[in-house]
Amino acid sequence: MTPARRAPSRTAPRTGSRAFAATWWGQAWVDALEASTLDAGRLSRGRTYARKGMVGPVTAAPGVLRAEVEGSNPWPYDAAVHLRVLTDAQWDTLLDAIAARAGRTAALLDGEMPADLVDDARASGVPLLPEPAELDPECSCPDWGYPCKHAAALCYATAAHLDDDPFWLFTLRGRTKDSVLAALRARRQAHTDATSPTGDDAPCDQGVPAHDAFTSWNGAFTPPAPSMAQSVPGEGDTAPAPLTTTPPPGAPITLDDLEALTRDTAQRARRLTAGHTASLTATPLDDAVRLAASGISEEWFHRLVRATGLPPLDFAHLVRALRHGGPAGITTARTPLTPDPAAMAAARTALTEPDNTENPDDTCGSPRLRAWRNRLTADDEGVQIRLGPDNRWHPYLREGRGASAAWWPCAPATADPTAALLAARTAVADAGPATTGAASASPPGSSGP
């Protein structure tokens, strides 16, 4: 999803190149880790390992996080962090708290953790966010630290996953995203069955069909005011129920498609009410890229490609740019910008003379960089970073070889050029030489210097 999915921070997350969390709940996770030990040295090494990309893919299961973490030995260590799962009674309390107020389910689906939900759950004896004593590290390394640097690195790397999807916390507490949503759907359906009027008691004003309202809108359409029989949304209303009616046979969309589009509409409405009006001036191409980046089905992805008329690879390039860098990522991908020379000079200095005050081994090395416009390229490594209009550095790697080689966005944008270059290097290592052109020169027709 795009970087816009960030909740307002009650406890401001740490800023700078060494921050690991961009949301208040991600920072709460980091705080729980750092409050669980007095061993600043191992935490510092763990931060270094996480920044260097030494943590493998992180998996979350009820009660445990796992990942392989590289260390000083040739083989990685198996690191894990355990967290107590909630009891059935605690889950009932938590699900009731989610359904108690309008918008909580929509906020979670939008990648935000409502602060009032965490407070209400804690007041009812349900700890959704971990307490310092709850994080229980485990590792196959011989270090007896609690946590060792490998388990600490796993915790730091997990903060980014929590930023992107707060449902990771629900999984760690014992239930997956699908099971939580199914339980909420069942609660809403039971509530609807118990309260829906029937027969003569049903309200006669059924509103305006959505299709008719949309097709008749000409800039002056005003929806009818709600009748007295219709409820006015308030603070205590329950969240709208997910769709439960399957489209008729032969329909061009599925129930999952309808739910995805409904969530997208709700998310855009929430952002508009919060003052984020950029989507009002979006072009059809902008909107197609945004929808494709939101995780729609493969079939819809191909429909959007056909609708835009772009070659599939060009469309996929923009989608990946949006996912990693937001709207500024698209501009950075499409247009060579003319940056502030001082910013470029400062970045080159930072990359050739890294700041290693925290750890002596915290370095990306001294790359051989070629500068052009807003781009710094390490040709022999097949990596590049681009300074975007948002003053963040966008990591790129060269994919493919020969005439098919092209620069692709490969990691989230960051204000720190050193972190961006490290992210690009990590992406190259993960992709392997079979898919990258680290030693290839820029061929004619590729995506630029």
HSE of 193 in the Cβ direction (CA atoms, 13 Å)? 6
pLDDT of residue 99: 83
Cα 280 to Cα 266: distance, rounded to the nearest angstrom: 15
pLDDT of residue 222: 40
Q: Are 100 and 109 in contact (CB under 8 A)?
A: no
pLDDT of residue 397: 94
Please, which residues have CB within 8 angstroms of residue 318's CB and are 6 or more apart in sequence?
A: 285, 289, 310, 330, 333, 334
Cα 18 to Cα 11: distance, rounded to the nearest angstrom: 17
- Cα 385–chain centre separation: 21
Splitting the chain (449 residues) into consecutive groups of 10 residues, what average pLDDT does each group show? 34 44 82 75 84 87 90 84 90 87 76 82 85 82 81 88 87 88 81 58 50 45 38 41 65 73 77 70 83 78 87 91 89 89 87 54 62 92 93 92 86 90 89 58 41
Q: Kindly compute the dihedral angle of the four CA atoms of residues 265, 268, 270, 275, in this order, to the nearest 10 degrees.
A: -150
